[in-house]
């Protein structure tokens, strides 16, 4: 995979912009496509309109989970890039590994809070007696995959920031393909309905997370190191300060 890297230190700016932006654009288009396909499948279920409304109520929770992954990923990756630019790869790996630990902690907290307060949260976001069942069916399964979402979305920026744009794009593509394939199998084949859609999404995010972590543990320039697993407040503070935007 190392051959897929882009030389960020000496490459021409216009060329770098193209090479880094195109994989990111393709990844976003694929991500949009599989979200659309996901909803097409759900819409074709019996009572599909109500099921769609129920998932819509749960959607803000999904956005919040994704936002926390961006908080760490978008906050820490630029800091790691600065360290790499300084020639301090150990410092960059410290930031990378601290972000990995932080995402695990966030996953535990988010999962626990949502499981405890899921019904009040869904009622607050507009659930009704008709839609609450679908919302709970989806959220109960989706939230168990929080750690996969955090790893897939939160650690992927560390791949892109090293110049492995195609590898970062593949993270999204492998998840999208997995989700598109599994959706009809679980929703209609196993007659799981909304639960099947949630399970397909969790499995897809898990596949993406395994892809990301395998790369960061074995194949990237910067690697997750055991000695840096303990969060360092100075790194966490800077990461959160930059990522909160």
Distance (Å, rounded) from C-alpha 91 to C-alpha 163?
18
Q: How far apart are the C-alpha atoms of 178 and 185, rounded to whole Å?
A: 11
Contact between 135 and 114 (Cβ < 8 Å): no
| Percent of the chain with pLDDT strictly greater than 90 | 82
pLDDT of the residue at 51 = 96
| Mean pLDDT (whole number) for 56-85 | 95
pLDDT (0 to 100) of residue 113: 98
- The arithmetic mean of pLDDT across residues 170-182, rounded, is 94
Helices (H), the chain: 13-43, 48-85, 89-124, 132-142, 146-160, 165-184, 194-214, 233-243
Chain segment 89-105, per-residue pLDDT in tens: 999 999 999 999 999 99
| Residue 23 confidence (pLDDT) | 86
| Apex 146 CA angle, 140 and 150, nearest 5 | 165
pLDDT(5) > 80:
no
Tell me the pLDDT band of 115, cut-offs 50, 70 and 90. very high
Question: What's the token pair of residue 231?
Answer: 């969060």
Mean pLDDT of 4-11: 61
Confidence of residue 79 (pLDDT cuts 50, 70, 90): very high
Mean of pLDDT values over 111-130: 97
Look over the chain and give the mean of its residue pLDDT values, rounded to a whole number.
92
Supply the pLDDT for residue 2: 46
Count CA atoms closer than 13 A to 156's CA, side-chain side: 28
Whether the per-residue pLDDT at 13 is higher than 80: the answer is no
């Amino acid at each position: 995979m190392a051959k897929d890297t882009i030389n960020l230190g000496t490459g021409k700016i216009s060329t770098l912009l193209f090479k880094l932006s195109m994989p990111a654009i393709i990844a976003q288009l694929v991500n949009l496509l599989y979200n659309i396909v996901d909803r097409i499948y759900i819409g074709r279920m019996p009572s599909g309109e109500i099921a769609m409304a129920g998932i819509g109520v749960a959607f803000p929770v999904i956005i919040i989970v994704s936002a926390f992954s961006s908080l760490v990923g978008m906050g820490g990756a630029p800091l790691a890039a600065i360290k790499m630019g300084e020639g301090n790869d150990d410092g960059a790996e410290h930031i990378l590994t601290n972000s990995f630990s932080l995402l695990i902690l966030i996953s535990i907290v988010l999962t626990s809070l949502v499981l405890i307060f899921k019904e009040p949260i869904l009622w607050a976001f507009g659930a009704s007696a008709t839609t609450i069942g679908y919302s709970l069916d989806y959220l109960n399964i989706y939230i168990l995959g929080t750690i996969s979402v955090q790893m897939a979305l939160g650690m992927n920026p560390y791949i892109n920031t090293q110049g492995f744009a195609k590898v970062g794009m593949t993270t999204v593509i492998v998840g999208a393909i997995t989700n598109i394939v599994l959706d009809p199998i679980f929703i209609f084949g196993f007659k799981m309905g909304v639960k099947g859609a949630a399970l397909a999404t969790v499995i897809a995010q898990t596949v993406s997370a395994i892809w990301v972590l395998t790369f960061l543990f074995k194949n990237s320039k910067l690697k997750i190191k055991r000695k840096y697993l303990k969060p360092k407040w100075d790194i966490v503070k800077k990461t959160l300060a930059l990522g909160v935007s």
